[in-house]
Amino acid sequence: MRYFKDTTGQVHGYDETIAAFEPYIEKAIENNWKEVTGSYPLAETKEQAQNRLSPSITSAINDEAHQWGYDDIVSAVSYITSTNPQYVAEAKALLAWRDKVWAWAIPALTKVIPGETAGQFLADMPSPPARPTV
């Protein structure tokens, strides 16, 4: 991939392995656009990584609740006042786990490494509880 910055400062990327992009690369050179290959795309900042990874925490929590048959974690914990003891036990277990996850996540997000994948980041997340039976 080759990147060129035009006279307005906008960056354009062209895949040099695709023949259809050759005229665009030539035109960028003819127009004296500055080639910024190697410095673009810009490296992800820590804040960008945090913003990108934060939703993966909520997704992981919701995915677990969904595996237990609930729409999401909000739905699951809403059963905390149910008259069904099984639902109450499940709501309590998921609520306690959600609290542990966020207690882990808040400091973990401050240690995020730019470029880290969601899988790498979530590897240290507290494990979900076993589904209780009443």
Instruction: Return the pLDDT at 30.
Output: 95
- Pairing mode, if any, of strands 34-35 and 11-14? unpaired
Q: How big is the chain, counted in residues?
A: 134
Same domain, 7 and 68: no
If you average pLDDT over residues 80-91, what whole number do you get? 98
If you average pLDDT over residues 74-87, what whole number do you get? 98
Same domain, 29 and 51: no
Q: Between the CA atoms of 104, 105, 106 and 107, what dihedral angle is there, to the nearest 10 degrees?
A: 60
Same domain, 98 and 50: yes
* Residue 133, in any domain of the structure: no
Instruction: Return the pLDDT at 55.
Output: 96
Parent domain of 9: 2-35
* Residue 127, in any domain of the structure: no
* Residue 41, in any domain of the structure: no
Residue 73 main-chain phi, psi, to 5 deg: -65, -35
The number of domains in the chain is 2
Instruction: Return the pLDDT at 38.
Output: 78
Same domain, 51 and 116: yes
CA distance 107 to 101: 11
Q: What is the pLDDT of residues 10-66, one digit of tens each?
A: 989 998 889 999 999 999 999 999 998 877 767 788 999 999 999 999 999 999 999
Terminal CA-to-CA distance of the chain, rounded, Å? Answer: 58
